[in-house]
């Protein structure tokens, strides 16, 4: 039997997790010398590469000194916590990657707390020691303090530390003595990560991830807890609700390198992929039919936010998208729930709208962006936090908010956060920045990032994570400014935009197509204003000197999908198509808006 080590790599967003996996793959000579592999090998979909984040956990496997090392790359963002929690069940040890300059960050804390709860022992990897002004020793102390505060055991606190630079491709036990490769880290994995605990007994395997192949359908991924799984073996699927279904393993794969390799059998401790078992969900157990025994189900974090997804019914409906009907939308959303565990979809009274629940704006925006790239057209309503009632009291989700900002803008930021019912917990200088911590309702965070970036001239760094449900905090002031709404359908004209510049900032530029009821800008005042952006200049046969000077128009403001979702109000939609993202009022005609405003 080959020795096996299962490790998960956990870290905050952008601390170099995926880059480190690249270097491990190269060190273990997974690629031939003449093979082009590129960078960020595991972030294999366009969205992950563009955003520089890992969204879906990935499995790879390398062979190092007669040991098979299964590596699981996990998402670092709290919105994808559902992914992290499950995959940690497959690992026996974790590599905790920390930036030598930034130290442990909010998301590090979130993911690490999950690993400690599950009793995993970490190897701490302090990355980016080649950065200027970094303090690897101070960061190591901070990791120790963090683990102590999270209730780590003595064994967990006695963690080994490896220093290095994943970008430069070296790891060492002493950051003053760079090496040539990442061998020191791999040696630490062999030495400190325990081999899988193998129980005696018949087959038991818990499904922790789902893959999909257009040839063989849904594939279950999980770790063999005990016993042995073989191809064409009769098994029983034990479901979360206690029911059981007889089934058969038609094909069996183990992980090798970046792909899967067909296998005849796999023993306890290895991570495998199974095809042929139907109707499974994450958390179900595949067991021996003679003595079926279910494993403890995986707890899944509850969604904290909901949005209305509806078919696109704007005047530009169907011009850019391929999938536009309510049936397309319904099938796609329910298909997503099969593998996206933290997502829930509910049907509404209208056949064209669905309520989608997720872990945050980021979680839901990734789904919207993916659908948009697949050719879907849809409209999305304002994100709403999920309110609970406990003992007759109204409860709402509260988050811990962390902001690092230049000192001169800290006063304005504190004012912004307290206006949104935030309470300050910590204020301390860290180097040349001020570190602030608050408790704030999830409602208060929506749209806050844009304001904080504005007052700090783009220098503030903001992160937040779910803390707990607390009593309702009262009303939070809405968006300060009203919006500018197009009066007619047509093409925006430079002449009209130029004459209206004193009214506010525009989201459209000359030549952009607009329709009646579409939001074309932000008003300088609090009220909404309807205006004509397609008005052309009256032509006369007289020319006055200077009348035809070129107009100077401020460039249009382009918001990202997340910024749009956080920007809209309750009576507005974000229209999303493969080529465009537009803002619009739900009621396009002005007399309809006035009628509904009175209600």
Binding-site positions read: 14-19, 127-130
Do 205 and 286 form a contact (C-beta atoms < 8 A)?
Answer: yes
Sheet holding 259-262, edge to edge: 244-248, 234-238, 285-287, 204-213, 217-226, 271-275, 251-256, 259-262
Strands 518-523 and 504-506, sheet pairing: antiparallel
Distances (CA, A) of 96 to 143, 257, 425, 509: 9, 22, 26, 46
Which tokens belong to 589?
């005609």
Quote the CA–CA distance of 182 and 410 in Å, as a whole number: 40
Binding site for GTP, residues? 14-19, 127-130
Instruction: Name the packing angle between helices 81-88 and 106-117 (round to 10°).
Output: 30
Phi, psi of 226 (to 5 degrees): -155, 165
Biggest distance spanned by C-alpha atoms of the chain: 97
Quote the CA–CA distance of 71 and 261 in Å, as a whole number: 16
Residue 65: other Cβ atoms inside 10 A: 11
Quote the CA–CA distance of 146 and 265 in Å, as a whole number: 41
Distances (CA, A) of 450 to 454, 459, 584, 588: 6, 12, 20, 27
How many residues are there in the chain?
599
Do 587 and 571 form a contact (C-beta atoms < 8 A)?
Answer: yes
Distances (CA, A) of 160 to 75, 192, 336: 23, 8, 39
Distances (CA, A) of 391 to 68, 107, 252, 446: 52, 32, 50, 28
SS3 category, 496: helix
> Of 43, 39, 6, nearest to 23 (Cα)?
39
Quote the CA–CA distance of 413 and 415 in Å, as a whole number: 5
Quote the CA–CA distance of 183 and 170 in Å, as a whole number: 8
E strand map for 1-112: 3-11, 58-64, 67-73, 93-99
Which tokens belong to 214?
């257009």
């Amino acid at each position: 039997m080959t020795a096996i080590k299962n490790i998960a790599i956990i870290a905050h967003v952008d601390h170099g997790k995926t880059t480190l996996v690249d270097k491990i793959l190269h060190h273990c000579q997974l690629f031939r010398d003449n093979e082009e592999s590129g960078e960020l090998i595991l972030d294999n979909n366009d969205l992950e590469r563009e955003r520089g984040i890992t969204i879906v956990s990935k499995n790879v496997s390398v062979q190092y000194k007669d040991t098979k090392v299964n590596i699981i790359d996990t998402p670092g963002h709290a919105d994808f916590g559902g992914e992290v929690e499950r995959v940690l069940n497959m690992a026996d040890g974790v590599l905790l990657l920390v930036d030598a300059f930034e130290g442990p960050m909010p998301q590090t804390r979130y993911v690490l707390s999950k690993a400690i709860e599950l009793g995993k022992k970490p190897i701490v990897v302090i990355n980016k020691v080649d950065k200027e002004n970094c303090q690897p020793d101070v960061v190591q102390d901070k990791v120790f303090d963090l683990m102590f505060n999270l209730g780590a055991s003595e064994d967990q606190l006695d963690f080994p530390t490896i220093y290095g630079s994943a970008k430069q491709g070296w790891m060492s036990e002493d950051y003053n003595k760079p090496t040539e490769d990442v061998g020191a880290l791999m040696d630490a994995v062999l030495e400190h990560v325990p081999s899988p605990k193998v129980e005696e007994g018949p087959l038991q395997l818990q499904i922790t991830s789902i893959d999909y192949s257009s040839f063989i359908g849904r594939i279950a991924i999980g770790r063999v807890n005990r016993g042995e799984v073989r191809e064409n073996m009769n098994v029983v699927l034990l479901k979360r609700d206690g029911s059981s279904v007889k089934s058969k393993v038609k094909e069996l794969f183990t992980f090798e390198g970046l792909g899967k390799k067909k296998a005849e059998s796999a023993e306890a401790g290895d991570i495998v992929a199974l095809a042929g078992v139907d109707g499974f969900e994450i958390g179900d157990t595949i067991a021996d039919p003679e003595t079926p025994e279910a494993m403890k189900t995986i707890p899944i974090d509850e969604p904290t936010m909901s949005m209305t997804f509806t078919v696109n019914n704007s005047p530009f409906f169907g011009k850019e998208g391929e999938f536009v009907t309510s049936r397309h939308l319904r099938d796609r959303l329910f298909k997503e729930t099969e593998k996206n565990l933290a997502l829930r979809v509910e049907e509404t009274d209208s056949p064209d709208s669905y309520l989608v629940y997720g872990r945050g704006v980021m979680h839901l925006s990734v789904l919207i962006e993916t659908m948009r790239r697949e050719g879907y057209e849809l409209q999305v309503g304002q994100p709403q936090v999920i309110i609970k009632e406990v003992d007759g009291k109204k409860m709402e989700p509260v988050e811990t908010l962390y902001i690092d900002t230049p000192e001169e803008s800290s006063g304005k930021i504190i004012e912004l956060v307290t206006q949104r019912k935030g309470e300050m917990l910590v204020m301390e200088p860290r180097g040349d920045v001020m570190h602030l911590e608050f408790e704030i309702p999830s409602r208060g965070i929506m749209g806050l990032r844009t304001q904080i970036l504005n007052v700090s001239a783009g220098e503030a760094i903001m992160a937040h994570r779910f803390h707990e449900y607390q009593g309702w905090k009262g009303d939070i002031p809405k968006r300060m400014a009203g919006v500018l709404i197009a009066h007619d359908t047509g093409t925006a004209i430079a002449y009209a935009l130029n004459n209206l510049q004193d009214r506010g900032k525009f989201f459209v530029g000359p030549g952009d197509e607009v329709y009646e009821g579409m939001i074309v800008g932000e008003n300088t005042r609090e009220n909404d204003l309807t205006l004509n952006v397609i008005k052309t200049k009256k032509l006369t046969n007289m020319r006055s000197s200077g009348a035809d000077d070129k107009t100077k128009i401020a460039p249009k403001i382009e918001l990202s999908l997340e910024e749009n979702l956080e920007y809209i109000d309750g009576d507005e939609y974000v229209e999303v198509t493969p080529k465009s993202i537009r803002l619009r009022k739900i009621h396009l005609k002005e007399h309809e808006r006035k009628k509904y405003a009175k209600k």
